C-alpha cells in the first residue's frame, strides 16, 4: 500500500506513508487545509463519487494530509488501512457503531479506559446494546459470559490503569471460533512494542493523543483494520458520523510519529529502572509493571510485546491519603490525566479518569483507591528518581 512496509521500527516511523509534495517536492507532507477539492470535469467528479476513481472530494470524506498519517500507522500496525479520527473516543465509538446492532452483546476488559466503558453502559445501552466487563486476562472468564449475540470482544492490553495484560492470541482464537470481531486498544504499547493484528486481532485502535503524537498538544485517534471489508464498513460509519481528523492535527501527529521509536526507547528505559526503584521503596506497598518478574503476566509480556513500555502503577502503604500527599508533592512529574508524552505525568485514576465508573465496578476491576498511575517520560532518570523519592518521603 505504501513504501517501507517491512522494515525496522526506527525506519518505518520516519518513512511509512510519506511521499514528497508532488507540486514543489517538499520533503514534509503539506497541510492540505482545504474543506473541498476541485474536479477536473463533471465526469471525474462523478467517477470520484461513484468510487471508480481515487481522489479527494471533501475533507470529511478524505484528505491527503490525513491519508499520509493513516497510511503511516497502517504500515506500523501491519494492517490493510487506517482511519484517523478527531479523538480516541471517536475511534472507539466508530468501532462500536460499525459493528454493534440493536440487542447485540459486547465483552470488554473491566479495567478498560473509563469513557470506553461509560459510553456503552450509559449511552449505547439506550439502543439495546448489552455488555459484560470482565477480567480478560482470564480467558475462562471471557468464555463464561459469551452469548449467542456476542458480536465484539474489545480488549485493552496493557489495561488502563491497572497494567494487566490480556493474551491476544488466545482471544483471537476464541473470536474466530465464536464468530466475533476482536478489537484491541493498543494505546499503552504503541505499534513499536506490540502489533495485535499480527497476533490475530481484527482491528486495532489508538488514541493518537498519547504515544503516537507524544507531545501532549494534539487530540486524535486512529483505527487500523486487517481486512478490507472491516475497513470499508468503518470508513462508511466514520464519514457519515463526521468524526474525521482535522488536517492540521493530522500533520502534527505525523510529525510526532517520526520520533516515536526514539521516545519509546528512552521512556521505557526510564520506566524499567523506576519500577525497580519503587518496588523496594519503603513507602511503596506494590508495583505493577510488565518488566518486573513479579508482574502476573510477565511471561506473556515477553511473548506478545517487543518491550515492556513506559506505563506503570503502584500503591503506597498509607493508602489513598498517602498517595494524594505524594502526588501533590511531586515537582518534576506533572499532575495530569493524559499519557505517552515526552514529559512524565502522574494521576489518581479512582478520583480522575475512572471517576465515572462506580466504586463497586472499580473494585472488581482492580482499580483500588491507593492506585497511582505514572506515565514515564523522556527526562533524565536520576531527575525522575529524585523527584519521586522526595515526594514519597513526604507521603
Enzyme catalytic residues: 60, 113, 185, 210
Contact 209, 218 (CB under 8 A): yes
Between strands 81-85 and 334-335, the pairing is unpaired
Contact 84, 208 (CB under 8 A): yes
Exposure string of 229-256, with b = 16+ CB inside 10 Å and e = fewer, is ebbebbbebbbeeebbbbbebbbbbbbb
Between strands 150-156 and 105-109, the pairing is parallel
| Omega of the bond leading into 161 within 30 degrees of 0 (cis) | yes
Q: Which three cell numbers stand for residue 71?
A: 497510511
For residue 287, the cross-strand partners are: 314
Q: Which three cell numbers stand for residue 258?
A: 517520526
Nearest to 304 by CA among 226, 212, 214, 188: 188
Dist. CA 329–CA 338, nearest whole Å = 19
First to last CA, the chain: 53
Exposure string of 107-128, with b = 16+ CB inside 10 Å and e = fewer, is bbbbbbbbbbbebbeeebeeee
Sole residue written with cell 492540521: 248
Question: SS3 sequence, 9-78?
Answer: HHHHHHHCCCCCCCCCCCCCCCCCCCCECCCCCHHHHHHHHHCCCCCCCECCCCCHHHHHHHHHHHHHHC
| CA separation, residue 301 to residues 139, 189, 246 (Å) | 16, 11, 35
Q: Which three cell numbers stand for residue 188?
A: 499503552
Amino acid at each position: 500500500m505504501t513504501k517501507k512496509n517491512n522494515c525496522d521500527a526506527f525506519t518505518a516511523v520516519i518513512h511509512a506513508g510519506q511521499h514528497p509534495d508532488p507540486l514543489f517536492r517538499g520533503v514534509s507532507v503539506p497541510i492540505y487545509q482545504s474543506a473541498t477539492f476541485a474536479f477536473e470535469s463533471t465526469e471525474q467528479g462523478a467517477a470520484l463519487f461513484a468510487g471508480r476513481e481515487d481522489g479527494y472530494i471533501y475533507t470529511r470524506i478524505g484528505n491527503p494530509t490525513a491519508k499520509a498519517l493513516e497510511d503511516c500507522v497502517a504500515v506500523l500496525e501491519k494492517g490493510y488501512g487506517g482511519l484517523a479520527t478527531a479523538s480516541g473516543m471517536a475511534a472507539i465509538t466508530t468501532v462500536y457503531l460499525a459493528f454493534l446492532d440493536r440487542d447485540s452483546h459486547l465483552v470488554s476488559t473491566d479495567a478498560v479506559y473509563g469513557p470506553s466503558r461509560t459510553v456503552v453502559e450509559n449511552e449505547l445501552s439506550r439502543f439495546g446494546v448489552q455488555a459484560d466487563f470482565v477480567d480478560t486476562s482470564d480467558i475462562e472468564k471471557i468464555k463464561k459470559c459469551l452469548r449467542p449475540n456476542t458480536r465484539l470482544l474489545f480488549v485493552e492490553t496493557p489495561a488502563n490503569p491497572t497494567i494487566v495484560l490480556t493474551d491476544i492470541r488466545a482471544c483471537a482464537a476464541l473470536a474466530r471460533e465464536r464468530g466475533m470481531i476482536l478489537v484491541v486498544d493498543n494505546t499503552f504499547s504503541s505499534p513499536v512494542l506490540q502489533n495485535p493484528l499480527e497476533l490475530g486481532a481484527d482491528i486495532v485502535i489508538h488514541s493518537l493523543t498519547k504515544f503516537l503524537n507524544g507531545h501532549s498538544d494534539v487530540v486524535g485517534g486512529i483505527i487500523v483494520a486487517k481486512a478490507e471489508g472491516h475497513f470499508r464498513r468503518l470508513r462508511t460509519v466514520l464519514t457519515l458520523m463526521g468524526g474525521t481528523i482535522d488536517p492540521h492535527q493530522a500533520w502534527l501527529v505525523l510529525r510526532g510519529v517520526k520520533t516515536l521509536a526514539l521516545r519509546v526507547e528512552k521512556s521505557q528505559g526510564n520506566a524499567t529502572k523506576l519500577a525497580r526503584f519503587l518496588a523496594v521503596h519503603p513507602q511503596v506497598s506494590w508495583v505493577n509493571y510488565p518488566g518486573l518478574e513479579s508482574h502476573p503476566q510477565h511471561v506473556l509480556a515477553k511473548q506478545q510485546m517487543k518491550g515492556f513500555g513506559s506505563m506503570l502503577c503502584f500503591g503506597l502503604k498509607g493508602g489513598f491519603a498517602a498517595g494524594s500527599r505524594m502526588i501533590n508533592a511531586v515537582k518534576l512529574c506533572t499532575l495530569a490525566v493524559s499519557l505517552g508524552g515526552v514529559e512524565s505525568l502522574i494521576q489518581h485514576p479512582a478520583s480522575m479518569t475512572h471517576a465515572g465508573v462506580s466504586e463497586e465496578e472499580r473494585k472488581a476491576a482492580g482499580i483500588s483507591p491507593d492506585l497511582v498511575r505514572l506515565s514515564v517520560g523522556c527526562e533524565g532518570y536520576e531527575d525522575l528518581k529524585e523527584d519521586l523519592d522526595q515526594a514519597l518521603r513526604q507521603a
